[in-house]
Amino acid sequence: MKRLLLAAGLALAACSSMAPPPPPGPPDRPVRNPDADICHASHYQQYVGRKMIDLPPKPEGAIWRQACTACAVTMDFNPERMNIFFDKDSEVIKEIRCG
């Protein structure tokens, strides 16, 4: 009986002395900062509300994605890419943002 009590006590002691959880590591993805203007979208805000044809040519080396507001796009985040979303029927630009 003493052995059984001793074994039960050791088992309980082992359960109560658990190691603390490891510190959190780096995030799986970079933190998104919608206020960052890495792609220079702020320079093109005057085109929101205008037609796609009014948009100047893409500067050399720039990364642009043009898509209609109802079109499927990938969900990958690239802060250097400028997204230009327009209405499919009217071709009026609705939003310009990085990502």
Q: Is residue 67 part of a domain?
A: yes
Q: What is the extent of the structural domain holding 91? A: 37-99
Distance CA 42, CA 65 (A): 15
| Tens-place pLDDT, residues 3-29 | 554 455 555 555 555 556 655 555 555
Q: Is residue 28 part of a domain?
A: no
Phi, then psi, of 96 in degrees rounded to 5: -135, 120
Say which amino acid occupies 3.
R
Q: Pairing relation of β-strands 93-98 and 63-68?
A: unpaired
- The confidence score (pLDDT) of residue 58 equals 94
Distance CA 42, CA 46 (A): 9
Q: Which of 10-24, 51-65, 74-88 has the lowest mean pLDDT?
A: 10-24
Structure tokens at 39: 């792609």
Residue 65's CATH number: 3.30.10.10
Q: Is residue 18 part of a domain?
A: no
Q: How many domains does the chain have?
A: 1
pTM, entire model: 0.65
Residues 54 and 74: beta-carbon distance below 8 Å: no
